[in-house]
């Protein structure tokens, strides 16, 4: 098959992408670049569209890896080829789908960013809790870290959800699933201070059933919490680019480092699948390896030589 065969196959497919699926020009250009490289590869090896098979695809993917393309880029190229193959099958140019047997390693999940216990303390201590807003922000951070709440759960809490006497908070998570999470002493103390002195001042005699309120008694928003967190974090070395979810990640990691079992952490986080919680075990293993390398006399040769 000459160059025209691949040009026609790829060109027809790109036209359908633009016309029928309404893809933006940039997306079509991306498909075009991927498939141009693939068609050149096939031409150099004398492989016609009608003769495309799994070994040829594997050779192409191997060539991408040899060029240093990341796993994500390889998956993108394969996705472009799969689309072209569907086109060739529909037009009866191919009789069998050669991509069925092609399996790429699933993308690895990035490990969540966590803070050390000292960094958490510094972040919370940076908050000026002499003001009503500071009392609120400190209570929010203590509860977010102390109970592992999502930001959306935190800002949507109602007054009735908190039982300070029992030391628990009732949370409605994803899918409106209810769970009960303990409140630690520091979070409880911060909540007591906020409820007694901060919240009434923010409400200005207005009524609200929302736990955390902003000016004029309006409910706090996720965006406002993000903004306030960044403002407090800017004063703390090493946490100036913190993401609010890092508080939840730190909650889970510190529990596991302290010896908590995975099922209990899963329950408190509100994960429906324990595999979601297991990502934190990677963090604890990394920490333990670091501790071992740092303190065990036989962890490194350098230690032995000292």
150 is catalytic: yes
- Give the active site residue among 245, 249, 287, 303: 245
Catalytically annotated residue among 136, 248, 249, 254:
248
Residue 101 token pair: 């047997």
Say whether 45 is catalytic: no
Out of 280, 290, 292, 306, the active site residue is 280
User: Would you say 9 and 88 are in contact if contact means Cβ atoms under 8 Å apart?
Assistant: yes
263 included as an active-site residue: no
Among 174, 215, 263, 303, the active-site one is: 174
Long-range pairs, 40-46, Cβ under 8 A, ≥24: 42/6, 43/1, 43/3, 43/6
Catalytic residue ranges:
150, 174, 245, 248, 271, 280
């Amino acid at each position: 098959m000459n160059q025209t065969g691949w040009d026609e196959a790829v060109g027809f497919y790109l036209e359908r992408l633009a016309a029928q699926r309404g893809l933006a020009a940039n997306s079509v250009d991306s498909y075009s670049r991927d498939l141009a490289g693939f068609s050149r590869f096939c031409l150099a090896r004398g492989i016609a569209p009608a003769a495309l098979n799994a070994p040829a695809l594997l050779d192409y993917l191997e060539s991408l890896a040899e060029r240093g393309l990341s796993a994500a880029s390889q998956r993108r190229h394969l996705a472009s080829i799969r689309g072209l193959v569907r086109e060739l099958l529909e037009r009866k140019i191919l009789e069998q789908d050669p991509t069925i047997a092609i399996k790429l390693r699933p993308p690895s999940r990035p490990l969540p960013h966590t803070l050390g216990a000292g960094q958490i303390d510094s972040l919370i201590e940076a908050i000026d809790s002499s003001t009503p807003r500071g009392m609120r922000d400190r209570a929010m951070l203590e509860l977010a870290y102390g109970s592992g709440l999502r930001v959306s759960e935190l800002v949507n809490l109602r007054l009735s959800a908190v039982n300070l006497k029992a030391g628990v908070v009732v949370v409605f998570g994803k899918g409106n699933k209810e769970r009960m999470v303990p409140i630690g002493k520091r979070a409880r103390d911060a909540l007591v201070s906020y409820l007694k002195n901060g919240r009434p001042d923010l409400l200005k005699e207005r009524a609200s059933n929302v736990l955390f309120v902003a000016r004029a008694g309006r409910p706090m928003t996720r965006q406002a919490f993000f903004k306030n967190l960044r403002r407090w974090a800017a004063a703390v070395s090493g946490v100036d680019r913190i993401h609010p979810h890092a508080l939840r990640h730190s909650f889970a990691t510190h529990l596991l480092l302290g010896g908590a079992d995975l099922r209990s952490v899963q329950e408190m986080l509100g994960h429906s699948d324990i595999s979601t919680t297991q990502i934190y075990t990677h963090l604890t293993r990394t920490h333990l390896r670091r501790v071992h390398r740092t303190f065990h006399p036989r962890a490194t040769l350098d230690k032995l030589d000292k």
